[in-house]
Structure 1
């Protein structure tokens, strides 16, 4: 305890010294001049400056806590001065069936600069390059990307290959991409020109999540649904779905999927926001499995219409399985948590939320409004008759705090509902043959990248930001 107190005092003295320097105009000017020295700028890049700035700010938070505990007030923090111009980053992708790997790539790209422009590859370009049309349209993919909290601007319908002429058109200084090779339809490097010009930044591709595996899981979900939903007719022609799905789910890489750490969770939480006095806390819940534009619109409308602080409850995997049936959830709880945390409209996530909204839950989180949708995306797909018959929102309705959002496109009776999970399954069924033929190619590419970047034989490693 004595050693801990001594360390805290030393930290306090260090911050106090820094603050005294900044309060002295002459010393502050001298410090600023040192930071502007060209030779120092060459030795200490901006990334180091940011790290130093973050360390000092963390120390300042500690000092503020000590000041408050002793009856004083917090001291303002002045960041380490920067003289460089703002850096704009361009990052692109197809971003179909968006998952935490996509969002982590966007997060890392944003960390490389001060502003991030994300390009969403057009449907036609994706078809020509990948040989398959995306499940989500380019407009839906663009809307999802724009909802991500690390994105400043979005360009929809961009080319798959990025040359210098296009990079200049974006107004960005650099293009960022993962450490996996991105080939054009002819096998050439999609980023050859920016790479040659020294304007390509590389971040680490996210392990533990794969579009290929998600497609495999969705194909299995479609198989499970064909007897449970007569409106979803599978193709009658024989396929090799079992072979490809087994390969994806049971290969050596399958054991390396869905990796999660507290560090990754904290990266997505970032600094977060706590409810403030005067906030109206809105609670919504669900599985949010395979996060789609219908989810995003629902969350945005719930917050915009009913409150100022959005708390999202995510059911655990066993609850989703009980509600939806065999093969669900497609994404596990932690994967779904990261997807929801990546949305700028979300303030906080309740991980493993109960199916029924109890009075205890409402009081504990000081919830003012509970919101549900008129078109439920959580409808049972394989639930046994007679199970889960109680209204999960009965308490909220009794308290008079339950509200419903109309989930139809125009909000009028007869209008088509916005995208739901069932719509995704229908698209999967319609594109099943093309998806199956692409799984093998995707799997080989992912296995090749994994062999290249991990393990004792790895020849190319990139540190994650």
Structure 2
């Protein structure tokens, strides 16, 4: 095992390795990386290519460049290795000077059903952290497949436009594997505290305020928050409640509930604080309370408030409003479109994944007998 030292040489410097697909990066991924970072001093995250993921699991929702960017923005990540091997080897750990590898307590397998961490486990250079219950990429895909009129049926089957049917990914009752099966996140104050820095602005800090839904936190949100943070020292994100988001976005939005969205935003390294259930209109009380120097909004027009008023009327009036372009045209709706366009492939992918998990679970249970 490699020995790493701090620059001052006073104590061991532990490097930790994590790897994965990190597709549709959500707070479950972030929580796993938070736990991994707590086991050492420096966290390196390897992210697989689109080709590797397609070979072993099926097509990812986000492309590799989008996934690299999303992982780099998670506050506990120190370094990202692009195109990391799908199977984690001792050679990879040694190449990057990592003492051990960390992964969640779920199952990760190759296309032929082999444990991707077999080698590092046998060498004693593997650590396991608790998987975040109630959230998975599979679950989010299922929610999106139930979002549109052509796919919306909360019963036993999910019907497409041609009248074909398949077992819906949104039904937990049909799931047999605890890993691929869907579930719902149960929020706690402890989890929010784990994700929050809990640091108030320093004296003299320029406070920036932005607000929105930030549903299915993605690269468009990320680029916007990075640009907003450049205008100050302390970035506060106001998150609207589920009913408010539903009012201005319609359909069955938001896909992720308020508490899920809070953790997703808090995991971003550009964000200093979150206002949970922020008022839709930015009022004088809000600006004064947080001592906001500038209110920033993206280029997408803001829907009027219930009374028809401009939600940014006050900060505009006092000269504390600015429109900022993220430079990225990604939207939550575009992600949903990707899923709907390839819904059969995603359903088949998750069926194959679940079948392999069930087979491995059975073999592990038989080995215990």
Question: What range describes the TM-score normalised by the shorter chain of this pair?
Answer: 0.7 to 0.9
- Establish whether residue 92 from structure 1 lines up as the match of residue 3 from structure 2: no
Superposed counterparts of 1:43-62, under 5 Å: none
Q: Indicate conservation of the 8 Å contact 2:201/2:207, yes or no.
A: yes
Superposed counterparts of 1:49-448, under 5 Å: 84-130=11-57, 132-223=58-149, 236-240=161-165, 243-248=167-172, 257-269=184-196, 271-304=197-230, 306-375=231-300, 389-407=308-326, 409=327, 417-442=328-353
Q: Indicate conservation of the 8 Å contact 2:237/2:273, yes or no.
A: yes
Provide structure 2 residue ranges, at least 5 long, that are not aligned to the other structure: 1-8, 153-158
Give the C-alpha shift of residue 449 in structure 1. 9.8
> Which protein shows a greater Rg?
1
* Structure having greater relative contact order (Cα 8 Å, sep ≥ 6): 2
Give the C-alpha shift of residue 443 in structure 1. 5.4
Give the C-alpha shift of residue 441 in structure 1. 4.2
Q: Indicate conservation of the 8 Å contact 1:323/1:388, yes or no.
A: no
Q: Which residue of 2 aligns with 1:53?
A: none
SS of residue paired to 1:205: coil
In 1, Cα distance between the equivalents of 2:235 and 2:359?
A: 41
SS of residue paired to 2:36: helix
Give the C-alpha shift of residue 86 in structure 1. 0.6
Q: Go from structure 1 to structure 2 and tell me whether the alpha carbon gap of 1:329 and 1:249 turns closer, same or farther (over 3 Å shift).
A: farther
In 2, Cα distance between the equivalents of 1:367 and 1:264?
A: 27
Structure number with the higher helix fraction is 1
Q: Go from structure 1 to structure 2 and tell me whether the alpha carbon gap of 1:279 and 1:448 turns closer, same or farther (over 3 Å shift).
A: farther
Q: Go from structure 1 to structure 2 and tell me whether the alpha carbon gap of 1:111 and 1:445 turns closer, same or farther (over 3 Å shift).
A: farther
In 1, Cα distance between the equivalents of 2:341 and 2:122?
A: 41
Q: Indicate conservation of the 8 Å contact 2:208/2:292, yes or no.
A: yes
Q: Indicate conservation of the 8 Å contact 1:147/1:343, yes or no.
A: yes
- When normalised by structure 1's length, the TM-score is 0.69
Q: Indicate conservation of the 8 Å contact 1:178/1:204, yes or no.
A: yes
Q: Which residue of 2 aligns with 1:75?
A: none
Q: Which residue of 2 aligns with 1:68?
A: none
Count of aligned pairs between the two proteins: 350
Provide structure 1 residue ranges, at least 5 long, that are not aligned to the other structure: 1-81, 227-233, 381-385, 410-416, 461-465
In 2, Cα distance between the equivalents of 1:255 and 1:426?
A: 21
Cα RMSD over matched residues? Answer: 3.1
